[in-house]
């Protein structure tokens, strides 16, 4: 057991620190479009030095980083207080899925513009009536009898982050209506810039439109944009979802740490550290943040050593979301009314953190996954 | 970075698990608890294997291994709920080995390593495990100063604590008796001992989880195993989360103890481990009783032994609340030395 990083890992960390030091994008401008353009520029700078997706193979513009190096990258990105790249879904989800299931033509066509943020990606999985139940998807894709190498898509998607900026959508649609539910799905790469695709922003609890509804009415997708074969959508989608749960833990863990440190400093400035209730709660939050960090590290070792995630890997998202909410709530309690005015950063955290236990798999779904896949408990008929 | 046991350490864990499964079954634990005696055969076997001296330096007759190996054994003894003076003895050995003077080490460690004598560690007036039989007691005063006191110099009253699988006592000693832990860093010994208690709690928590899983997979209601119902399965997922979180913190503490000056120091990892393991094991054992339903509340079922052990261990060497406040103080001092 050795929790220090190897010389090579430490060197990688030093390189990153130096790079972030020399590459400061400056303050983020106000406004949705301006701030997004700023994040695209930031990603281009990362990509220029092959830091946009360190875990991608070198041939595609990454660094072939190990999972530990990738974790170090996200830790340092967070520590430097630099933003995630604009095309985070393209980098973490679409790219790796295309690498796994794509044809050579698809890899050649799509991977490079993902890295440079030239083409932004969104994820068209969720639907209003399906939630976490992919097998219940209703969006339909049928071949056009007049053009048999083209599909015509009709349906609705929801919670589509970044759709307003996206060129491409990872779209899962039903293509076989007779097959058992999850066998009739196909994974498409859909061009968002066509008639038939309408994006409507969904304003969320914070007042910001982070995600959208997607209305698809007669959109067209050529055959060559099927990923992983017709009828194979379930399997391809699961690959995407597995990628979703691995990448961000270290970025989020560092951000949580920073927030907590800021709260502790704020408590100190207000002279509240001697209050036993405050000290107790801050100690508790520190404990939970450390448990998250250490459990994420254990997960890294398990994957590096045994090739598959261990039980700890299923727990970090749950730990993070719960702790982040508790932290934001305690900040509001500690700071009082000042934390409840719009524009105050703690007010934002208080509201935004409610999404943490819903986005990227609700806590309830995570518990089901832990119960069934890790603990081997029987599954109730009909449950997800 | 490698946050996993070495092959040798995995082997120690497997060996301990197998041995204790046969020597310290729950039937044996129940026998010990109901008769208020330890099984001398079990203790002799642990002594023959050299377990009490696993983390004691070779020059004092121990095996010279580290806090990680000790944590592995403590975890397995907790998992087996072993009725023995093992934990108390290694706590005293850790305190003296890392926090005592050379003379104190020479005087007490060989006997503790060989199992010739047993030890105890605890706070004045609190519950101190196995103090009545111990030859040496490390007693932490209200002022936080720990003294090494010979049993003959201490006032020991046995107490009937809620965990009958182990002996407990209240200990007092006049300030003139015994001498303060005389090493460079007396607190280091207490912190190492604290991590050992956390390790036992992780074992208790793991056992509570496994017993519960076996039960809810088997027990049916409405023709369905109760473990299929989300009210139950989500509780089990919570138990895994609490157990694994406590395990991460405890192994980190044990590693930090062995890493010494190359690591993150001991106070923070020790308090982290103890707070996480105390909360984790208590909650997990409580959830185990709940998931067992009415049967879990009976004397006949074994889950209550786990709950009781978890509660008493959680109170040893500082409750979670004590360690949370210590964490807050340590972290705020690190962040803003001028303010604190």
Interface touch B328/A68, C-beta < 8 Å: no
- Using the Cβ of A280 and the Cβ atoms of chain B, whether some distance falls under 8 Å is answered with yes
Residue B32 and residue B332: Cα distance in Å, rounded? 46
Please tell me which residue of chain A has the smallest CA distance to B324: A283
Per-residue pLDDT at B340: 43
Per-residue pLDDT at A313: 81
Ordered alpha helix ranges (H), chain A: 7-22, 32-48, 67-79, 88-89, 95-101, 104-115, 233-247, 249-269, 276-306, 316-335, 345-352, 363-369
Rounded to the nearest angstrom, the minimum Cα separation between A36 and chain B is: 33
Tell me the residues of chain A between 299 and 328 that have a Cβ less than 8 Å away from chain B.
Answer: 300-302, 305, 311-312, 315, 318-319
- Mean pLDDT estimate for chain A: 94
Tell me the residues of chain A between 145 and 184 that have a Cβ less than 8 Å away from chain B.
Answer: none
CA B166 to chain centre: 12
Per-residue pLDDT at A314: 85
Q: Is the pLDDT of residue A290 over 70?
A: yes
3-state SS, residue A195? coil
Residue B244 and residue B188: Cα distance in Å, rounded? 25
Tell me the residues of chain B between 50 and 69 that have a Cβ less than 8 Å away from chain A.
Answer: 68
Interface touch A283/B340, C-beta < 8 Å: no
Q: Count CB-CB contacts under 10 A for residue B107.
A: 16
Per-residue pLDDT at A241: 79
Please tell me which residue of chain A has the smallest CA distance to B338: A268
- Using the Cβ of A2 and the Cβ atoms of chain B, whether some distance falls under 8 Å is answered with yes
Overall average pLDDT of the A325-354 stretch:
96
Structural Rg of chain B based on CA atoms: 20
pLDDT band at A181 (very low <50, low <70, confident <90, very high): confident
Per-residue pLDDT at A242: 74
Interface touch A264/B326, C-beta < 8 Å: no
3-state SS, residue B156? strand
Per-residue pLDDT at B233: 98
Residue A172 and residue A225: Cα distance in Å, rounded? 12
- Using the Cβ of A132 and the Cβ atoms of chain B, whether some distance falls under 8 Å is answered with no
Interface touch A290/B2, C-beta < 8 Å: no
Q: Considering chain A, what percentage of its residues have pLDDT values greater than 70?
A: 98
- Using the Cβ of A376 and the Cβ atoms of chain B, whether some distance falls under 8 Å is answered with yes
Interface touch A298/B262, C-beta < 8 Å: no
> Are residues A62 and A69 in contact, defined by beta-carbon separation less than 8 angstroms?
no
Q: How many CB pairs under 8 A join A and B?
A: 181
pLDDT band at A361 (very low <50, low <70, confident <90, very high): confident
Interface touch B224/A378, C-beta < 8 Å: yes
Please tell me which residue of chain B has the smallest CA distance to A69: B1
Q: Is the pLDDT of residue A384 over 60?
A: no
- Using the Cβ of B265 and the Cβ atoms of chain A, whether some distance falls under 8 Å is answered with no
User: Given CA atoms B88, B94, B100, B103 in this order, what sign does their dihedral have?
Assistant: positive
User: Given CA atoms A224, A229, A233, A237 in this order, what sign does their dihedral have?
Assistant: negative
Question: Which residue has 């002022």 as its token pair?
Answer: B143
Among the partner residues B217, B227, B249, nearest to A291 by beta-carbon distance: B249
What residues of chain B lie within 8 A of the CB of A376, using their CB?
Answer: 213, 217
Tell me the residues of chain B between 283 and 312 that have a Cβ less than 8 Å away from chain A.
Answer: none
How does strand A211-222 pair with strand A197-202?
Answer: antiparallel
pLDDT greater at residue A384 or residue B242: B242
Interface touch B327/A364, C-beta < 8 Å: no
What residues of chain B lie within 8 A of the CB of A269, using their CB?
Answer: 339
User: Residue-wise pLDDT tens for chain B (340 aa)?
Assistant: 999 999 999 999 999 999 999 999 999 999 999 999 999 999 999 999 999 999 999 999 999 999 999 999 999 999 999 999 999 999 999 999 999 999 999 999 999 999 999 999 999 999 999 999 999 999 999 999 999 999 999 999 999 999 999 999 999 999 899 999 999 999 999 999 999 999 999 999 999 999 999 999 999 999 999 999 999 999 999 999 999 999 999 999 999 999 999 999 999 999 999 999 999 999 999 999 999 999 999 999 999 999 999 999 999 999 999 999 999 999 999 887 644 4
Structural Rg of chain A based on CA atoms: 22
Rounded to the nearest angstrom, the minimum Cα separation between A279 and chain B is: 5
pTM passes above 0.90: yes
For A277, the enclosing helix (H) or strand (E) is helix A276-306
pLDDT digits (tens, 9 = 90+) for A32-75: 889 999 999 999 999 999 999 999 999 999 999 998 999 999 99
Backbone angles phi, psi at A298, to 5 degrees: -60, -40
For A155, the enclosing helix (H) or strand (E) is strand A147-161
Per-residue pLDDT at A239: 84
Residue B235 and residue B159: Cα distance in Å, rounded? 34
> For this structure, is A244 an active site residue?
yes
Please tell me which residue of chain A has the smallest CA distance to B226: A378
Tell me the residues of chain B between 206 and 225 that have a Cβ less than 8 Å away from chain A.
Answer: 213, 216-217, 224-225
What residues of chain A lie within 8 A of the CB of B328, using their CB?
Answer: 264, 273, 278-280, 282-283, 286
Rounded to the nearest angstrom, the minimum Cα separation between B321 and chain A is: 6
DSSP B112-165: HHHTSS-EEEEETTS-EETTTT-SEEEEE-TTS-EEEEEGGGSEEEEE--S-TT
pLDDT band at A380 (very low <50, low <70, confident <90, very high): confident
What residues of chain A lie within 8 A of the CB of B251, using their CB?
Answer: 1, 294, 298
Tell me the residues of chain A between 47 and 86 that have a Cβ less than 8 Å away from chain B.
Answer: 68
Question: Which residue has 């119902």 as its token pair?
Answer: B229
Ordered alpha helix ranges (H), chain B: 7-23, 26-35, 40-48, 67-79, 86-99, 102-114, 186-218, 230-259, 267-292, 303-315, 320-335
Residue A287 and residue A281: Cα distance in Å, rounded? 10
Please tell me which residue of chain A has the smallest CA distance to B234: A367
First to last CA, chain A: 37
Active-site residue, selected from the candidate residues A75, A76, A244, A349: A244
First to last CA, chain B: 33
Interface ipTM > 0.90: yes
Ordered alpha helix ranges (H), A102-248: 104-115, 233-247
Q: Which residues contact B99 (CB under 8 A, 6 or more apart)?
A: B146, B181, B183, B185, B186, B187, B188, B189, B190
What residues of chain A lie within 8 A of the CB of B245, using their CB?
Answer: 291, 295, 315, 319
């Amino acid at each position: 057991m050795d929790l220090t990083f190897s010389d090579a890992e430490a060197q990688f960390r030093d390189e990153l620190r130096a790079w972030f030091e020399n590459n400061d994008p400056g303050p983020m401008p106000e406004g949705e479009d301006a701030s997004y353009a700023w994040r695209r520029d930031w990603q281009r700078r990362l990509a220029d030095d092959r830091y946009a997706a360190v875990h991608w193979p070198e041939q595609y513009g990454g660094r072939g980083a190990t999972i530990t190096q990738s974790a170090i990258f996200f830790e340092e990105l967070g520590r430097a207080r630099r933003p995630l790249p604009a095309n985070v879904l393209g980098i973490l989800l679409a790219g790796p899925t295309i690498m796994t299931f794509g044809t050579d033509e698809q890899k050649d066509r799509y991977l490079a513009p993902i890295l440079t943020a030239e083409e932004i990606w969104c994820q068209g999985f969720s639907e209003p009536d399906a939630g976490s139940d992919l097998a219940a998807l209703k969006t339909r894709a049928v071949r056009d009898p007049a053009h048999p190498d083209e599909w015509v898509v009709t349906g609705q998607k929801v919670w589509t982050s970044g759709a307003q900026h996206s060129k491409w959508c990872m779209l899962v649609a039903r293509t076989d209506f007779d097959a058992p539910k999850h066998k009739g799905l196909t994974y498409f790469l859909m061009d968002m810039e066509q008639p038939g695709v309408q994006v409507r922003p969904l304003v969320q609890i914070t007042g910001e439109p982070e995600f959208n509804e997607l209305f698809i009415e007669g959109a067209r997708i050529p055959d060559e944009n099927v990923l992983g074969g017709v009828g194979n959508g379930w399997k391809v989608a699961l690959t995407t979802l597995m990628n979703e749960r691995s990448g961000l833990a270290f970025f989020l863990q560092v951000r949580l740490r920073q927030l907590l440190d800021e709260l502790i400093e704020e408590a100190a400035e207000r002279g509240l550290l001697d209050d036993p209730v405050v000290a107790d709660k801050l100690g508790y939050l520190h404990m939970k943040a450390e448990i998250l960090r250490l459990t994420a590290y254990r997960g890294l070792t398990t994957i590096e050593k045994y090739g598959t995630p261990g039980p700890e890997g299923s727990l970090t998202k749950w730990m993070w979301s719960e702790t982040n909410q508790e932290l934001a709530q305690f900040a509001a309690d500690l700071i009082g009314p000042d934390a409840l005015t719009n524009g105050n950063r703690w007010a934002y955290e208080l509201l935004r953190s409610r999404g943490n236990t819903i986005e990227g798999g609700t806590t309830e779904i995570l518990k089901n996954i832990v119960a069934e896949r890790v603990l081997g408990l029987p599954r109730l008929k009909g449950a997800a | 970075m490698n946050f996993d046991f070495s092959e040798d350490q995995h082997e120690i864990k497997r060996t301990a698990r197998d041995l204790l499964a046969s020597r310290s079954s729950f039937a044996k634990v129940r026998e010990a608890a109901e008769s208020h005696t330890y099984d001398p055969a079990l203790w002799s076997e642990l002594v023959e294997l050299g377990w009490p001296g696993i983390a004691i330096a070779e020059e004092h007759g121990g095996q010279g291994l580290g806090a990680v190996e000790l944590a592995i054994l403590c975890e397995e003894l907790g998992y087996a709920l072993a009725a023995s003076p093992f934990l108390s003895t290694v706590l005293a050995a850790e305190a003296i080995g890392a926090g005592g003077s050379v003379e104190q080490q020479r005087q007490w460690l060989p006997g503790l390593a060989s199992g010739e004598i047993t030890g105890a560690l605890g706070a004045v007036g609190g519950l101190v495990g196995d103090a009545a039989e111990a030859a040496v007691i490390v007693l932490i005063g209200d002022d936080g100063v720990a003294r090494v006191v010979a049993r003959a110099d201490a006032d020991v009253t046995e107490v009937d604590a809620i965990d009958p699988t182990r002996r407990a006592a209240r200990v007092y000693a006049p300030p003139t008796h015994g001498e303060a832990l005389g090493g460079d860093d007396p607190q280091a010994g207490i912190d190492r001992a604290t991590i050992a208690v956390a390790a036992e709690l992780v074992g208790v928590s793991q056992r509570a989880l496994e017993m519960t899983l076996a039960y809810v997979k088997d027990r049916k209601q409405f023709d369905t195993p109760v473990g299929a119902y989300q009210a139950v399965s989500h509780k089990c997922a919570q138990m895994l989360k609490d157990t694994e979180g406590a395990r991460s913190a405890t192994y980190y503490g044990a590693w930090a103890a062995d890493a010494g000056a190359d690591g993150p120091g001991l106070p923070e990892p020790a308090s982290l481990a103890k707070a996480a393991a105390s909360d984790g094991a208590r909650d997990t054992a409580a959830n185990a009783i709940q998931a067992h339903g009415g049967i879990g509340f009976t004397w006949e079922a074994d889950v209550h032994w786990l709950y009781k052990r978890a509660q008493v261990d959680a109170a040893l060497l500082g409750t979670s609340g004590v360690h949370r406040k210590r964490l807050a103080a340590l972290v705020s001092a690190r962040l803003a030395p001028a303010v604190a």
